[in-house]
Chain A
Amino acid sequence: DGGITQSPKYLFRKEGQNVTLSCEQNLNHDAMYWYRQDPGQGLRLIYYSQIVNDFQKGDIAEGYSVSREKKESFPLTVTSAQKNPTAFYLCATVRDRGRGTEAFFGQGTRLTVV
């Protein structure tokens, strides 16, 4: 919500295609995160970035790639290697690296394989 924009809201992918989900923030937050949400499984961390030009794998990074060339942007590419990409994808930011700071979330992108 607020200063985090995820686009598109809905995305359809054919088998074998790569697609890129956009996440842009104007909150000047340092850290950015990508989560995947599946029914009944909560949120699972895909990748995160604490600073520009640096990012780390989360729990389910296989089949995904990211970049962090600018502080404002953290795009997620879902590659053809991701066997079950249909899910709701959420981008989040955190103001600083203080562990007591809450995360802010975008509105999400729903990806469907057709």
Chain B
Amino acid sequence: AQSVAQPEDQVNVAEGNPLTVKCTYSVSGNPYLFWYVQYPNRGLQFLLKYITGDNLVKGSYGFEAEFNKSQTSFHLKKPSALVSDSALYFCAVRDTDSGAGSYQLTFGKGTKLSVIP
């Protein structure tokens, strides 16, 4: 079974400071990893993904994430936070060893990011 953990329900960071939102995963094979952002009463928007290759993945709006296989982590980062980054962030995983036809994405519980002016 695949699973995702986001250990922090909320992260507070001052505007202009670097931010990190943590994610760890568990899969039986190799992972496909995704980050999404959600604004209030809206759907999820895709930020970035790791499939294979370079462990540092760059995505939308200046976000990046680092894949660490030994620590089974995929933390989301941004060098300088903006107030407009305040939102709910979800990490998701899909196991490459999922059964044929299976395409289930498993999501973490989400981390609320608040950027303080």
Which of A's residues lie within 8 Å of B, judged by CB? Answer: 1, 4, 6, 31, 33, 35, 40-43, 45, 48, 50, 58, 88, 90, 92, 94, 97, 99-100, 102-108, 110
Q: State whether B41 touches A104 (Cβ < 8 A).
A: no
- Contact in complex: A48, B104 (CB < 8 Å): yes
Q: Are B104 and A42 in contact (CB under 8 A)?
A: no
Q: Are A99 and B9 in contact (CB under 8 A)?
A: no
- In order of increasing CB-CB distance, the 5 nearest A-B pairs are A105-B43, A42-B109, A100-B51, A43-B107, A105-B44
Q: Across the two chains, which residue of chain B brings its CB closest to A43?
A: B107
Binding site for A on B (CB under 8 A): 9, 32, 34, 36, 41-46, 49, 51, 90, 94, 96, 98, 101, 103-105, 107-110
The 16 sampled A-B contact pairs (Cβ below 8 Å) are A31-B103, A42-B90, A42-B110, A43-B44, A43-B107, A48-B104, A50-B101, A92-B44, A94-B103, A99-B32, A99-B96, A102-B46, A103-B105, A105-B43, A106-B43, A110-B41
Output the nearest chain B residue to A30 by Cβ-Cβ distance: B103
Q: Would A45 and B109 be within 8 Å (CB), given that A99-B94, A100-B49 are in contact?
A: no
Contact (A97, B42) CB under 8 Å given A42-B109, A42-B110, A43-B107: no
Interface centre among A35, A43, A58, A97 (most CB of B within 10 A): A43
**In the bound complex, CA of A66 to CA of B44 (Å):** 22
Measured CB to CB, the nearest residue on chain B to A96 is B103
Residues of chain A within 8 A (CB-CB) of B51 are 100
- Which residue on B lies nearest to A31, using beta carbons? B103
Closest chain A residue, CB of each to CB of B9: A40
Interface contact B109-A102, CB-CB below 8 Å:
no
Contacts of A1 in B (CB 8 A): 42-43, 45
Chain B CB within 10 A, most for which of A40, A45, A105: A105
